[in-house]
Copies of this chain bind each other. A is one copy, B any other.
Amino acid sequence: MEEVRASFGRQVRTRREALGWSQERLAERAGLHWTYVGGIERGERNPALDNINRLAQALGVSLAALFAPLNATVKTTHSRKSRKPARPRRS
């Protein structure tokens, strides 16, 4: 699971709870199934742009606002094990 999914899911949950909505209510407003919304909030889903947009609209926020808190997190998925240059074999 990629870190960005978890961050996005937390953000959706935070926005939803700030509105005092259940997952069912958000799902209904976004035209999605509530189990799908639950999966997104838990970071289990990899939602596509259309559905991300539906969630943003249902939550009444811009896409940029929905992603704003992820900026700090985005970089984490960038981290990779640094490759050591191949060691020259001992002759």
A67 on interface, CB distance cutoff 8 Å: yes
**A32 — which chain B residues lie within 8 A by C-beta?**
none
Q: Which residues of chain A in 33-81 are interfacial with respect to chain B, using CB atoms and an 8 Å cutoff?
A: 46-50, 52-53, 56-57, 62-68, 70-71, 74-75, 77-78
Q: Report, as a range, how many residues of chain A touch the other chain.
A: 20 to 34
Interface of A is mostly: helix
CB distance from A58 to the nearest CB of B (A): 10
A5 and B74 contacting across the interface, CB-CB below 8 Å: no
**A63 — which chain B residues lie within 8 A by C-beta?**
4, 67, 70-71, 74
Chain B residue nearest in CB terms to A54:
B77
**A5 — which chain B residues lie within 8 A by C-beta?**
49-50
